[in-house]
Amino acid sequence: MTTRPTDIDQSKATDRLAASLFAEVLIAEQLSRNLISKALPRGMQISHFSVLNLLAHVNEERTPAQLAEAFHVTRGAMTNTLSRLEWAGHVHIRPDWDDARRKFVSISPAGRTARDTALAAFMPLIAGVVRDIGADRVRGALPVLRELRNRLEGGTQG
């Protein structure tokens, strides 16, 4: 089977489109992180906020392993984040009474307050970006971004 020139052109165009898409996503991610990091309360990192936000949202205990999986980080990285959050009084970590090797993490009242303070600090900034772009345009982009995330999470490339 020989490859037709139009197939090669189409493949190159798809490669350029893919490179442009991923470049924009990576740059937008970096700029978003910078915007949010600057607005977070002193001493709070995005990883801290993310864990507090998840725990506040689900309103149930999670194991460190479950949290590591949810954030696609190593257990060691999650242990470090949880240690800092526990030291700050933002989470409670308790042993699993049925399996001493496991622990459970829950958000503390101070953690809920810290999460709410962080949200109040950066929500106006990101809401302003959405207003500037236009709510309808953002709504239109969300299905594509969700599909991209789902493909990357599942490892589906085809």
C-alpha distances (whole Å) from 53 to each of 44, 92, 131 are 12, 15, 23
Q: CA angle, corner 83, sides to 40 and 152, nearest 5?
A: 65
**How many angstroms from the chain centroid is the CA of residue 130?**
18
- Residue ranges and CATH numbers for the domains of the chain are 38-154 (1.10.10.10)
10-residue stretch averages of pLDDT, the chain, 158 residues long: 72 93 96 94 94 97 97 96 97 92 96 96 95 97 95 72
pLDDT tens-place string over residues 17-62: 999 999 999 999 999 999 999 999 889 999 999 999 999 999 999 9
**What pTM did the predictor assign?**
0.83
Length of the chain counted residue by residue: 158
> Mean pLDDT over all residues of the chain?
93
Tokens encoding 139: 């709504």
- For 62, the enclosing helix (H) or strand (E) is none
pLDDT tens across 22-31, in order? 999 999 999 9
